[in-house]
Structure formats: C-alpha cells, structure tokens
Structure 1
Amino acid sequence: MARAQGARAQMALGFETTYGTPPASGFTRMPFASTTLGAEQPLQTSELLGYGRDPLAPIKDAVTADGDVVIPIDARAFGVWLKAAFGAPTTTGLEAPYTHAFHSGNWSLPSFSIETGMPEVPRYAMYAGCMVDSLSWQMARSGLLTATARIVAQGEEVAASTQAGSPTELTLQRFGHFNGSVTRDGTAIGNIVSADINYANNLDRIETIRADGKIAGADPSIAALTGSVAVRFSDQTLVSQAINGEACELEFSYALASGESLTVTAHSVYLPVPRVEISGPQGIQATFDWQAAKNDTAGRMATVTLVNDMEAY
C-alpha cells in the first residue's frame, strides 16, 4: 500500500472568474516548500441535561479553511503570488525583459483556487475561494530565500483524481539572499544584519448563514506594510529620522546577473525610536520596527517591481 510522502506532493494554482468556483483550465504548477493549508470543521459538545452522565452526540460547527504556504522567491512563479496579494500588475515592454509593477491599495483582489495533490494515496484537495491575507519574508546574509503566504479559503473539496488538468510549468529561477540589497532614499544602508518585510491585506471574512457552513467571501480592509531592520549601530542617521518623525523611502531588492530582478519600494517609511542597548563587548545592534504609509507623490504606499521574461500575469 502506497503511503503519502511530502516529496511527491504537488500544488497547482488557477485564478477564478467567479469567487468560489475553480477554473476549468489555466492552472499553473507552483513550487512550494511546505503548506498548512487545510479545512477543519470542529464539533460542538452537547449541553443538554436529563439524559444521564453520558453526553449526547455532538453537532458540526462552521467550516474554517486557511493556512500558510511557504514558497521560494523566484523570478517567475513569485509573480503569481504578487498578483494574488496586490492585484493584476501594470506590464511594460514590447519584448523580454518585461517589467511588472504591482501597486498596493487595490480594493478588488483576485480570488484563486489551489489544488494540493498526493498522487500515491490518491488524494487531491481543491481549495476554492482563496485570497492572500498576507505575504512576508526575511532578508538575511545566508540561507534559502523563501516567503510565507497566508491564505484564507472558502472551503475544501477532496477527489481521487486531479481537477487541475495539465498545469503550466514555469522554469524555476530563484533569488538568493546574496542577491539582496537595502537602500534608504536611493543610498545603500550599511551594516544591515537582517530585515523583515510583511504586507497584509487584513482580509475580513464574510461569515453569512449558509447551509454548507462556508464563508461567503473575504473583503480587503486597510492594508499594512510593516517590518524591521536590524543594523550594527554605527551612526545616528536612522535614530535622527525616528526622533524627528520624518519619512524616508526604503527599497528592498534582489537582482540576478542574467537581468531578472525583484524590488519592493516602500515610498514613505516611518521609524520608531529604538532602544540601543550595550549588552557586552560585542558590536552594538539596534532594531527599527518600521511602518509604511501612503505617499502623496506616488499615490500609494508601495510598489513591487518584477523584471523577467514573462509576458503577462
């Protein structure tokens, strides 16, 4: 008897025309490292008295479908997740390389379906009505560069065969930590130890009364772009900005020698005044937990620019 193994697991993603209805075609095979995406329906214990000490049978509660997907940050497939998190991009270029600009602040975000497959069981779970609640990752000096997408879904349908057809295959071309850089107002920031970036749509689940116990949708509320930068303390530049309450532009980017690049630009970033501790004879670090806000000149809070050979998303 075959047993399920993570090494054989598959994932396919397709954007929906109608919320909660998986598309008949157009799925893309997505690379992923792990996922907790799933649906659960808890039981409510009976509260009734008068039937002895042994409880009556429980009843089913509402369905909750959500979870995280850990994904590599690459030059092609990551654009699919950016479209899900920010909406369709503005694409320029008559031929490769193409530049895809994703803007924050869109009120209408696309929904999509994700199918996870365990072919040896077989078990294929289709999660319809998916939306990205948040997308986050960390910049560091070394290690594998991955992001975490937090997904809110409507429900789960399990089948013995795939419903995704033959997904489009995208050649993986990963960015690495060593390809990264951080700039402030166009100038590289020295002594950066690590940086965290988190974009949240702060989805509001529409929990209406339905016979199937599923949500009716998820509406985006006030977006947030937050994070932190840990620096070896060497000057007062960032501290002075925090004290003065001024805004700066932070840019987090990755670039490959072959020309592909990913750039996250937070147009107006505000810094808190950090605690600067002297904990011993080693170098002194300061961590700034930053927040981004809408920039009047740019007309938005953030722009994510992906340059690759994909003609459209």
Structure 2
Amino acid sequence: MFHMYQGNILGAVSYCPDDFSFDSPELSVWVDKIRDFIGEDESYVANIRMNPDWLFFRSFSGEFSVFKSTHISGLLKEIAAKNDTAETIIGVTSNVEIINDIRTTISFKDEEFAKDLLVELGDASDLKVISQENQLLFISNHHVVIKYTNCGLESVAEEKELIRLRQQKEISLLFGDQKFEWNIIDRQASGEFEDLILELLDREPWVFSVKKVAPTNQGDNGRDLICEYNMLHHENRVSKGAESIKLGKMIIQCKTNLKHSKTTSIGKSGVDMPSTLFDYRPDGYMLVVNTQTTRDLTEMLERQRDRKEQNAILWWNAFDVEDRLRKYPDILARYRHIVDYA
C-alpha cells in the first residue's frame, strides 16, 4: 500500500522533476538555526528536496534528525491522533506508554529538546509523539523531529524502578500512619498469604531464592517455604553482591488467624517449630504471622535463638509484614483481596 500511494503520502507528483540539492539559501538559513541551537561542532548532513518538498537535517553526534514538511507532518499527526489509544503513566524521568501490551518510554529530556528545537525554528505548534523501540517521533504542524534513543524494554524497566521508589516515598508520607486490615477468611486465603510472604522475602537483600514447598491443598510437613539465604548477613549489614557470603537453608512457617476468629494472636500450640527443627535440621528458621505472637510463643522463639543451634531464628508479626507492604506497593496491589489499607 505504501509503494502504491507513496506519492500521495510524501506529497510527490509524477509530472514534476525531482530536484535535490545540498545547498540553497533557504536550506542554509534553516540549518544555521539548528546549528545555533545545538552547537557549531556537530557532525551532520543536510539537504533540500522539491517533489516531495522538504528540508532535511541529520546530526550524527547528536543522534537526531529533523525535517520540515507540512504535508508529511500533517499526515503523520492526523494518523497519530486517530490511533491514540495509549495508556500513559507519568514517570520520574519519562512517561511510560502502553499500547496493546507494548510498553515504551517517552523521555522528558528528549521531549523538551524537541520542543526547544522547534521553537528555535519558529514552530511552536502542539506536538504529537510516536514512541518506538529505538526512536521517538515528535510531530508538529510543520516539522518532524526523530530522536534516536533506547525507549524499549530496558528503558521501561529502569523507569519502573524509579516509579517504585517514588511510590515508596509517597506512601510513607501519605499512608505511613494508616492501618491495614486483613481479610483472610479461609484456607485458600491462607495459602495466598504464603504467596505474599514469598514475594516479600524475595525482595529481602539477604535472601537469594525462595520457593513454596507444596500447593495449598497438599501437606507440607511444617515447611511452607524454603529459602536459600546468606548466613553472614548479620541484620542485613551484608547484602546481595557482597563478598561475605555463606549460603544456608531456612525453613519458613506461615500462620494466619482467620478474619472471624475469636483469637487475636498466634500461640505456642499453633506452631510446631521444635519438631520441624528436629526433623529437617535447617540452618535457619522463620515464623511469619498476620497478627501477633503471644508472649509464650515469643519467649520460645527467643530461647531457641539463644541456644545458637541454628544460624538464625527470625519472626515477623503483622507490623513487620505491613511495614514491608508499604515499601512495595506493587506487591500490595496483587494481594489487596487479603490485605489492604483500612
């Protein structure tokens, strides 16, 4: 279709000769404005063409191109407007654009560059942006600026991390004093609590891998999760990538109180830690609950830790879990059916 109608698309007609030149007064004035904007030392090529009618400039060192063609820019702008189905997330250094599950970024810096360049060329009309894997098209009424840049998967991943860090700060400032409400109503929800803890542990700097032992409907013999961890982490003072690493195996037990239960805490009778330690002899043990541990259970955990038979005895109560959910809003979003802000 393009080959059949390229003349109409580009604004060319068959009955006029092709006039192509690297030098003309109009081109020189236009190029001088661009060079004044970007600097005199740019490595570039420029030309003027009649039929189709355009001015073209490409900077090799600046990694961008710009051409002036009211016909082509008007056509591209109209197509972009008719197909504008993108969902846009305002990021930290870029907007993330999502079209049919295809994700790209539009850099604020690149967009500002295009706007300033077009103002220098006397074109302050509104811009439409088309983002592709390795370039951005900024389309005004008379010009198209093409910025060659990585705006694909790698750029999206970097921007997602910046957004996550921003969300952590926002949530800390806006919701730091807001309480959570747990909605664990049955065994299936308890199994999803294990999945939630798996994801939170996977974000811990001292955990190298974590796996679920068995599906919710199968017995796990007291082992809900198993993880490989750094036995030398010492309260997180050594993190992933550090030289002081010694791998160990940790067993994690997850215990929940159902929403309508009369009890508000987990006690010794609900935890089979001694038999689990005896049967599997892990390097570390961890208990995670969605409420609080009773005094007797806390004392039992402390006594086992003081015996130093294991490298680590850890436990998280609801406060510890909720504190981490504030830091990782992406994880919270996936489990809002079992826990959310009250």
Task: Tell me which interval the TM-score lies in, with the shorter structure as reference length.
Answer: under 0.3
Say which structure is richer in helix: 2
Which structure has the greater CA radius of gyration? 2
Q: Which of structures 1 and 2 has the larger relative contact order (alpha carbons within 8 angstroms, sep 6+)?
A: 1
TM-score (norm 1): 0.21
Q: Which structure: greater strand fraction?
A: 1
